[in-house]
């Protein structure tokens, strides 16, 4: 499926870290992710690494990007639910159960956003990353869905969405929203199934502007058919 770029926030991101690095960085107890090639253009419907809590243990496993609520009749609804607005998690039927019970961390080495440029018809892709080079931890929600027509014989489909909030001062000129990037001090709280919703909501704020940097990259990223480290190389802009 050839995804073009999306005007919504965080429709593409980079996940180039190995399972070993992620397991160490996030301190997980169990790893259920096979070795995989770095992905420099992760698009909706991709199977992505995520950190979840299972009873008293944390596990790194794969979830399909695009949340499919348990009550959905068709998994295609996930194509519209790749991002979840922080301001409405507790109210939206698609997200409120996951917000209450099924939260995850979605590791990323950075994400793409598209910026309008004066005198240019096409938006310019920008790559956003942590200045210290560490993986980001997006706040995520996850769900488990089974085809209602097949009932208990159906396999479980586990999916996720990235939580977004208002942009910080650095990213506001590029887009008015950004993924929630949780600091390490918030990881345990976000994964805690018994955490108070008011405490959780207080975590869903823009990351400090000094945490991240952004620079222009090649328009090749506009198509999910393209992948590779060249996509995150700085791109020289043409003058308007």
Residue 4, pLDDT > 60, answer no
State the pLDDT at residue 236.
87
Q: Which of 75-79, 169-173, 177-181, 233-237 has the least mean pLDDT?
A: 233-237
The candidate with the shortest Cα–Cα distance to 138, out of 170, 172, 104, is 104
CA 182 and chain centroid, separation = 12
Q: Specify the number of domains making up the chain.
A: 1
End-to-end CA distance of the chain: 32
pLDDT of residue 1: 36
Q: And the tokens for 25?
A: 């960085």
Q: What is the arithmetic mean of pLDDT over 90-99?
A: 96
Give the count of beta carbons closer than 10 Å to the beta carbon of residue 54. Answer: 11
**Per-residue pLDDT tens digits for 24-75:** 999 999 999 988 889 999 999 999 999 999 988 999 999 999 999 999 999 9
Asked if residue 96 is part of any domain, the answer here is yes
Catalytic residue among 7, 87, 113, 160: 113
Q: Check pLDDT > 80 for residue 240.
A: no
pLDDT category, 239, cuts 50, 70, 90?
Answer: low
Residue 8 has pLDDT above 90, yes or no: no
* pLDDT at residue 150, rounded to an integer: 82
Are 101 and 180 in contact by the 8 Å Cβ rule? The answer is: no
pLDDT tens digit string along 187-197?
999 999 999 99
Q: How far apart are CA 101 and CA 177, in angstroms?
A: 25
- Domain span including residue 57: 13-232
> Active site residue: 10, 104, 143, 160, which one?
10
In a domain, 240, yes or no: no
Question: Is the residue at 30 inside a domain?
Answer: yes
**Would residue 50 count as lying in a domain?**
yes
The reported pTM is 0.93
For residues 147-158, give the mean pLDDT. Answer: 86
Tell me the C-alpha distance between 51 and 32, whole Å. Answer: 10
Residue partners of 133: CB distance under 8 A and separation at least 6: none
48 within domain boundaries: yes
Q: What is the mean predicted confidence (pLDDT) over 71-89?
A: 96
- For residue 147, give the nearest of 161, 133, 157, 134 by alpha carbon: 157
Contact residues for 89 (Cβ-Cβ < 8 A; gap 6+):
95, 96, 99, 141, 163, 201, 204
pLDDT in tens, 104-134: 999 999 999 999 988 888 999 999 999 999 9
Q: How far apart are CA 109 and CA 128, in angstroms?
A: 9
Is residue 134 part of the annotated active site? The answer reads no
How many angstroms separate the Cα of 234 from the Cα of each of 92, 127, 150, 218, 229? 38, 9, 48, 8, 11
Q: Does 10 qualify as catalytic in the annotation?
A: yes
Task: Report the CATH number that the domain containing residue 40 is assigned in CATH.
Answer: 3.90.1680.10
- Whether residue 239 lies inside any domain: the answer is no
């Amino acid at each position: 499926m050839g995804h073009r770029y999306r005007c919504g926030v965080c429709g593409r991101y980079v996940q180039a870290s190995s399972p070993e690095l992620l397991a160490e960085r996030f301190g997980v107890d169990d790893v259920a992710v096979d070795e995989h090639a770095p992905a420099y253009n992760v698009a909706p419907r991709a199977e992505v690494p995520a950190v979840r809590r299972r009873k008293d243990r944390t596990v790194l496993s794969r979830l399909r990007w695009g949340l499919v609520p348990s009550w959905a009749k068709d998994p295609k609804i996930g194509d519209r639910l790749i991002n979840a607005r922080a301001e409405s998690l507790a109210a939206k039927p698609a997200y409120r159960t996951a917000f209450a019970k099924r939260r995850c961390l979605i590791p990323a080495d950075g994400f793409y956003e598209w910026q309008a440029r004066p005198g240019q018809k096409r938006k310019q892709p920008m790559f956003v990353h942590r200045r210290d080079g560490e993986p980001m931890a997006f706040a995520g929600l996850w769900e488990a869905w089974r085809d209602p027509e097949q009932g208990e014989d159906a396999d479980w489909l586990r999916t996720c969405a990235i939580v977004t909030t208002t942009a910080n001062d650095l990213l506001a000129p590029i887009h008015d929203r950004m993924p929630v990037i949780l600091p390490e001090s918030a990881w345990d709280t976000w994964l805690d199934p018994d955490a108070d919703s008011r405490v959780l909501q207080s975590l869903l704020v823009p990351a400090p502007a000094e945490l991240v940097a952004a620079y222009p990259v090649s328009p090749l990223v506009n198509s999910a058919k393209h992948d590779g480290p060249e996509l995150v190389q700085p791109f020289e802009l043409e003058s308007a």
